[in-house]
Amino acid sequence: NAGVTQTPKFQVLKTGQSMTLQCAQDMNHNSMYWYRQDPGMGLRLIYYSASEGTTDKGEVPNGYNVSRLNKREFSLRLESAAPSQTSVYFCASSEFSGGAADTQYFGPGTRLTVL
Partner 1 sequence: GNSVTQMEGPVTLSEEAFLTINCTYTATGYPSLFWYVQYPGEGLQLLLKATKADDKGSNKGFEATYRKETTSFHLEKGSVQVSDSAVYFCALIITSGTYKYIFGTGTRLKVLA
Q: Are 104 and 36 contacting, i.e. CB atoms less than 8 angstroms apart?
A: no
Question: Residue 68 Cβ, how far from partner 1 at the closest point, in Å?
Answer: 16
Stretch 17-56: interaction string toward partner 1, x if CB under 8 A: ----------------x------xxxx-x--x-x------
Q: 89 — phi, psi (to 5°)?
A: -110, 130
Nearer Cβ to partner 1, position 17 or 75?
A: 75
Examine residue 106 and tell whether it contacts partner 1 (CB under 8 A): yes
Q: Residue 98 — left, alpha, or beta (φ > 0 → left; ψ -120 to 50 → alpha)?
A: left
Q: Which of 61, 71, 86, 108 binds partner 1 (CB under 8 A)?
A: 108
Number of residues binding to partner 1, judged by CB under 8 A: 24
Q: Are 68 and 74 contacting, i.e. CB atoms less than 8 angstroms apart?
A: yes
Stretch 66-95: interaction string toward partner 1, x if CB under 8 A: ------------------------x-x---
Q: Which residues of 55-83 are buried (b: 16+ CB within 10 A; e: fewer)?
A: beebebbeebebebeebbbbbbebeebee
Residues that bind partner 1 (CB under 8 A): 4, 33, 40-43, 45, 48, 50, 90, 92, 97-109
